[in-house]
């Protein structure tokens, strides 16, 4: 018996050796003809890959192609004329293609042509595709059918504005897909998206019409679900009950009611509702989900009971531009770390807008035990921010950032906030006490009512002032001051001689007659100065726009002086090239009229070569040089 087995094994090996060359030969070459590539456009694509133009595709020629791109330009080159559905039969002979992008439009002889593809065999033609992107420019229907076990990411969109009625007919099955990104309506002929893509983790549906019962059933576990669209009038969340979902975003819909009871059995971490006409919202179903971040913006909610989510997990709350007459955050005193009632202010930029729907006038933070950041720029109704409650003998002590530009706050005392690093307050502020703020680094004030602004801080590095009442502005007791921007002041002169770390200065005011420059300790000017806040790069619950490093763009050049009559540089006895370029001339803007002083005061002990250079510059800009 063993001998017979050995004989049979030898025969099989021999037959394999005999037939292997023939099988290999058949697999290694593909003839470019109508039988293999029935569609003339696809045949043209194949001919483009035939490097040696022998009419046959070798292994090497086929395996080098990993991306099938039929866009606005290449489709025209392949002969697409819009007269028929493109049949991609034959593309399966390119086994390395894992990425396919079809833009269903092209321009032929100056005329826009819209085309479509044969959907019934698309995934047979691309059996190894992992990423599929389809963009319609004129075709009103995109169909997906068949099955793909390799597809991981799907992106479909209707680009042309006239295709507002464009629909996706989805009748396919892709069990391994991870991300879906669809812009457009889902046809009533479609299967439930959850049944088509049961294991999808990231689902983004823009300008869509889903939401009603049954349209999203079948998803198993979701990381992120994003839904927007004015055709969404009803949102049934029952399909989420009992499954894992971490992030749910609903925006720009016409939903007026939202029953969140199905979320009770989920593990929802982030809920973001924006620009929906919702008037009432019950938060109790979220209490035990592990909710970390709750955001409600641009809705019509008039009251909110935060006791319903007073759990141990909610750390970020955002309530922006909603007509709440009262906002009580004290139920979250043991967990809340970040509060948004407006915008996060960027240094050296104006607040973006005033939120007119906001109604509450008082923001009581005195009970908060872990609150670190409050962003309220643009919340125009706020008149009072309560940081302490003498009757209850409590005060907030943990605040590091307080952003209140664009509010009606007249007076604020932050002297007890020893951990405060950033403070922005205005537009009506007349009193601002920053004593004992030993860690304060950024300060922004708008329309300070007093005529005398004398700051004293050993930690302050960045100062922004806007307003027209201050006649005296002194920062000489701020030794670490690094960047200053001033707009609209009645001060006749500004003396920065003692600020030897001041590398960036911007002044936009025609009233200032004289500015005294410091001799900086280390003249390490850069052309563009930025502050980077790396907190946003590591925060797992910020949205896509904030996922990168958040940057405050400050100053281009060094000193940016607009319409100042006299510049005093007498602190310098020797001018470095960096000083000339960045502090004195701000790059080469000295030649521009609005940056040109009438007088330049220099030290009489300035070295002769520098005096010669100054006189040459002064002659060019018609300024007078004065020795001091």
pLDDT of 434: 85
Q: Residue 419 and residue 601: Cα distance in Å, rounded?
A: 41
pLDDT of 487: 82
pLDDT category, 350, cuts 50, 70, 90?
A: low
pLDDT of 184: 87
> How many C-alpha atoms does 187 have within 13 Å on its Cβ side?
14
Q: Residue 122 and residue 135: Cα distance in Å, rounded?
A: 15
pLDDT of 558: 62
565-573 average pLDDT score? 92
Q: Cβ(39)–Cβ(80) under 8 Å?
A: no
Q: Residue 519 and residue 511: Cα distance in Å, rounded?
A: 24
Of the candidate ranges 16-20, 106-110, 456-460, 600-604, the one whose mean pLDDT is the lowest:
16-20
75-103 average pLDDT score? 94
pLDDT of 115: 92
pLDDT of 20: 31
208-234 average pLDDT score? 90
What are the strands, taking DSSP E only, across 92-211? 99-104, 106-108, 111-113, 131-136, 141-147, 153-158, 167-173, 179-183, 185-186, 202-206
- The residue ranking higher by pLDDT, 348 or 136, is 136
445-460 average pLDDT score? 83
364: closest CA among 338, 342, 333? Answer: 333
- Inter-CA distances, 478 with 401, 440, 495, Å: 20, 11, 12
Residues in Cβ contact with 321 at an 8 Å cutoff, skipping those fewer than 6 apart: 297, 298, 355, 356, 357, 358
27-37 average pLDDT score? 88
191-217 average pLDDT score? 91
pLDDT of 110: 81
560-586 average pLDDT score? 81
Beta bridge partners of 602: 627
What are 373-426's pLDDT values in tens digits? 999 999 999 999 999 988 877 899 999 999 999 899 988 889 889 999 999 998
Inform me whether the pLDDT recorded for 527 exceeds 80: no
Residues in Cβ contact with 309 at an 8 Å cutoff, skipping those fewer than 6 apart: 283, 284, 286, 287, 291, 294, 331, 332
106-108/111-113 β-pairing: antiparallel
pLDDT of 534: 41
Q: Residue 467 and residue 232: Cα distance in Å, rounded?
A: 46
Inform me whether the pLDDT recorded for 546 exceeds 80: no
Instruction: Tally Cβ neighbours within 10 Å of residue 285.
Output: 20
- Inter-CA distances, 143 with 45, 356, 468, 472, Å: 23, 44, 62, 70
Instruction: Tally Cβ neighbours within 10 Å of residue 387.
Output: 21
pLDDT category, 628, cuts 50, 70, 90?
A: confident
pLDDT of 254: 95
Of the candidate ranges 37-41, 223-227, 393-397, 544-548, the one whose mean pLDDT is the lowest:
544-548
124: closest CA among 99, 97, 89? Answer: 89
What are 468-513's pLDDT values in tens digits? 778 888 899 999 998 888 887 888 889 999 999 888 888 877 678 8
pLDDT of 4: 44
Q: Cβ(175)–Cβ(199) under 8 Å?
A: yes
C-alpha torsion 60→61→66→69, nearest 10 = 180
Inform me whether the pLDDT recorded for 122 exceeds 90: yes
Cα 180 to its chain centre, rounded Å, is: 20
pLDDT of 554: 35
Q: Residue 27 and residue 444: Cα distance in Å, rounded?
A: 71
pLDDT of 1: 45
225-232 average pLDDT score? 93
What are 235-288's pLDDT values in tens digits? 999 999 989 999 999 999 999 999 999 999 999 999 999 999 999 999 999 999
Q: Residue 518 and residue 499: Cα distance in Å, rounded?
A: 6
Q: Cβ(446)–Cβ(410) under 8 Å?
A: no
Selection from 106-115, 352-361, 396-405, 407-416 with the highest mean pLDDT = 396-405
Of the candidate ranges 29-33, 74-78, 436-440, 452-456, the one whose mean pLDDT is the lowest:
452-456
- The residue ranking higher by pLDDT, 86 or 106, is 86
Q: Residue 531 and residue 366: Cα distance in Å, rounded?
A: 30
Terminal C-alpha separation, the chain:
115
pLDDT of 466: 83
pLDDT of 163: 61
256: closest CA among 234, 240, 272? Answer: 234
pLDDT of 311: 84
How is residue 98 written in tokens? 């894992």
- The residue ranking higher by pLDDT, 372 or 584, is 372
What are 293-345's pLDDT values in tens digits? 999 999 999 999 999 999 889 999 999 999 999 999 999 999 999 999 999 88
Residue 285 — φ and ψ, nearest 5°?
Answer: -60, -15
pLDDT of 587: 40
Inform me whether the pLDDT recorded for 549 exceeds 90: no
- For every residue of 502-571, DSSP letters joined together read --EEEEE-SS--EEEPP--S-----SEEEEEETHHHH-TTS-GGGSS-EEEEEEESSEEEES-SEEE-TT
Q: Residue 511 and residue 491: Cα distance in Å, rounded?
A: 7
What are 145-185's pLDDT values in tens digits? 999 999 999 999 987 665 666 789 999 999 999 999 999 88
Q: Cβ(483)–Cβ(554) under 8 Å?
A: yes
pLDDT of 53: 94
Q: Residue 318 and residue 295: Cα distance in Å, rounded?
A: 4
Q: Residue 473 and residue 445: Cα distance in Å, rounded?
A: 12
Q: What is the CA angle 317-323-324, rounded to 5? A: 55
Whole-number average pLDDT of the chain: 85
Inform me whether the pLDDT recorded for 46 exceeds 50: yes
């Amino acid at each position: 018996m063993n001998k017979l087995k050995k004989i049979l094994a030898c025969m099989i090996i021999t037959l394999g050796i005999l037939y292997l060359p023939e099988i290999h030969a058949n697999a290694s070459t593909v003839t470019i003809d109508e039988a293999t590539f029935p569609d003339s456009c696809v045949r043209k694509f194949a001919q483009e890959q035939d490097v040696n133009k022998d009419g046959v595709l070798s292994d090497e020629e086929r395996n080098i192609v990993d991306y099938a791109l039929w866009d606005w330009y290449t489709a025209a080159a392949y002969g697409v004329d819009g007269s028929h559905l493109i049949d991609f039969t034959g593309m399966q002979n390119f086994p390395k293609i894992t990425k396919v992008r079809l833009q269903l439009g092209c321009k032929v002889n100056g005329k826009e042509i819209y085309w479509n593809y044969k959907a019934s065999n698309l995934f047979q033609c691309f059996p190894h595709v992992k990423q599929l992107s389809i963009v319609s420019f004129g075709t009103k229907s995109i169909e997906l059918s068949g099955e793909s076990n390799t597809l991981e990411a799907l992106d479909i969109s209707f680009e042309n504005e006239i295709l507002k009625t464009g629909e996706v007919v989805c009748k396919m099955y892709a069990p391994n897909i991870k991300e879906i990104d669809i812009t457009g309506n889902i046809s009533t002929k479609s299967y439930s998206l959850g049944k088509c893509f049961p294991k999808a983790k990231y689902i983004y549906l823009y300008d869509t019409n889903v939401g009603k019962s049954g349209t999203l059933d079948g998803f198993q576990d979701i990381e992120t679900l994003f839904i927007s669209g004015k055709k969404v009038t009803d949102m049934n969340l029952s399909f989420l009950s009992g499954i894992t979902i971490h992030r749910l975003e609903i925006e720009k819909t016409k939903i007026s009611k939202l029953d969140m009871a199905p979320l009770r059995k989920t593990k929802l971490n982030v809920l973001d509702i924006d620009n929906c006409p919702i008037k009432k919202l019950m938060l109790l179903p979220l209490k035990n989900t592990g909710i970390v971040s709750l955001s409600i913006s641009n809705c019509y909610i008039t009251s909110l009971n935060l006791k319903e989510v007073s759990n141990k997990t909610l750390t970020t709350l955002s309530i922006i531009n909603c007509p709440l007459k009262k906002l009580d955050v004290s139920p979250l005193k043991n967990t809340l770390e970040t509060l948004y009632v407006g915008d996060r202010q960027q240094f050296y930029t104006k607040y973006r807008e005033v939120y007119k729907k906001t109604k509450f006038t008082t923001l009581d933070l005195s009970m908060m035990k872990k609150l670190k950041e409050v962003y309220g720029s643009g919340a125009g109704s706020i008149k009072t921010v309560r940081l302490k409650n003498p009757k209850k003998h409590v005060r907030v002590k943990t605040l590091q950032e307080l952003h209140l530009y664009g509010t009606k706050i007249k007076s604020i005392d932050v002297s007890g906030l020893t951990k405060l690093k950033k403070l922005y307050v205005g537009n009506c502020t007349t009193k601002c006490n920053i004593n004992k703020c030993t860690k304060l680094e950024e300060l922004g004030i708008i329309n300070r009512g007093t005529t005398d602004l004398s700051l004293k801080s050993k930690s302050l590095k960045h100062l922004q002032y806007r307003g027209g009442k201050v006649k005296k502005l002194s920062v000489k007791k701020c030794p670490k001051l690094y960047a200053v921007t001033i707009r609209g002041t009645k001060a006749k002169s500004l003396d920065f001689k003692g600020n030897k770390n001041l590398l960036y200065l911007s002044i936009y005011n025609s009233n200032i007659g004289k500015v005294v420059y410091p001799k900086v300790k280390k003249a390490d000017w850069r052309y563009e100065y930025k502050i980077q806040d790396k907190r946003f790069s590591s925060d797992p619950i910020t949205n896509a726009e904030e996922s990168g490093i958040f940057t405050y763009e400050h100053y281009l050049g060094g000193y940016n002086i607009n319409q100042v009559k006299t510049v005093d540089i007498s602190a310098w006895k020797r001018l470095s090239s960096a000083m000339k370029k960045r502090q004195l001339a701000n790059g080469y803007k000295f030649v521009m009229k609005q940056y040109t002083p009438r007088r330049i005061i220099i030290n009489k002990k300035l070295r002769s070569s520098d005096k010669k250079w100054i006189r040459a510059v002064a002659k060019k800009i018609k300024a007078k040089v004065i020795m001091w």
